[in-house]
Amino acid sequence: MRRTEWIALLIAIAAPAIALAQTDEIQVYDAAIAPPGTLGLTWHNNFTPLGATVAAEPGGIIPDRSLNGVTEWAYGVTDWFEAGLYLPLYSRTRTGAVLYDGFKLRTLFVVPHAAERNFFYGVNFEFSVNTAHWDTHRYTAEIRPIMGWHLGKLDLVFNPILDSAYDGVLNLRFAPATRIAYAVRKDLTLGIEEYADFGPLRRFDRSRDQPHLLFGVMDWAVGRMGVEVGAGFGLTRASDHRVLKMILTWDLMST
């Protein structure tokens, strides 16, 4: 099967029922950035074949059988700074309605040449403008510290994320993401990722009310394109039961 046929097959698998809970991006950051002068595109699509049948807020998107996605445009400014724009952020509901959800600005600061270091680190800031059906807060933000270790073929990465609705430090939500991955070949990696939301710092939610999702993921390089696919399983009653994700990346232009 030719490369273009593989890409078409992946999109066809993901698209018919594509959906996920209220998030556009299911990814653990490993401090990799676009080289200086390079414009990159990452296309996120997440689908929830089996999820909550009631929206988190009145008028919100019902997670079950809905698709959330976004095209993420990134530009390497220096070897330690990348600027990004998420646009458009969109959803397809289980009734077939296609919705515009907003946009985000991103600034990512990392230690240079992270892939060549045993220990790497960085921090990402995102600033969101949301539509009412996507988030009841018009403006939100994310602070994503990044830390990890390259241990031969094994990678350990942790993102202790804090989500903000600009309503006070104690109301920051702790939503960490963790990844353990093993490089089977230079172009193929298998991994396990865990995504959680413990609730606000002032007082964590009860354990049964905390979403926790465990993903099995596979990453591989297809020429100049990167492909990541994953299947997630909810670990608590507050989690969507099944979630699929697909991430495609391209380097579009270099100066």
CA-closest candidate to residue 150, choices 180, 122, 177, 178: 180
Amino acid at 6: W
CA-closest candidate to residue 44, choices 196, 226, 242: 226
CA distance 33 to 148: 15
Q: How confident is the model at residue 22 (pLDDT cuts 50, 70, 90)?
A: low
pLDDT tens digits, 118-167: 999 999 999 999 999 999 999 999 999 999 999 999 999 999 999 999 99
Q: Does residue 4 carry a pLDDT above 50?
A: no
State whether residue 6 is helix, strand or coil.
helix
CA distance 8 to 224: 16
Amino acid at 100: Y
Contact 61/91 with Cβ under 8 angstroms? Answer: yes
What distances in angstroms separate CA 143 from CA 53, 100, 159, 176, 235, one per listed residue? 30, 24, 9, 11, 25
Q: Which domains does the chain have, with CATH numbers?
A: 3-254 (2.40.160.40)
What token pair was written down for 145? Answer: 């510290």
Backbone angles phi, psi at 34, to 5 degrees: -70, 140
pLDDT tens digits, 39-94: 999 999 999 999 999 998 888 999 999 999 999 999 999 999 999 999 999 999 99
Name the DSSP class of 14.
H
Contact 20/243 with Cβ under 8 angstroms? Answer: yes
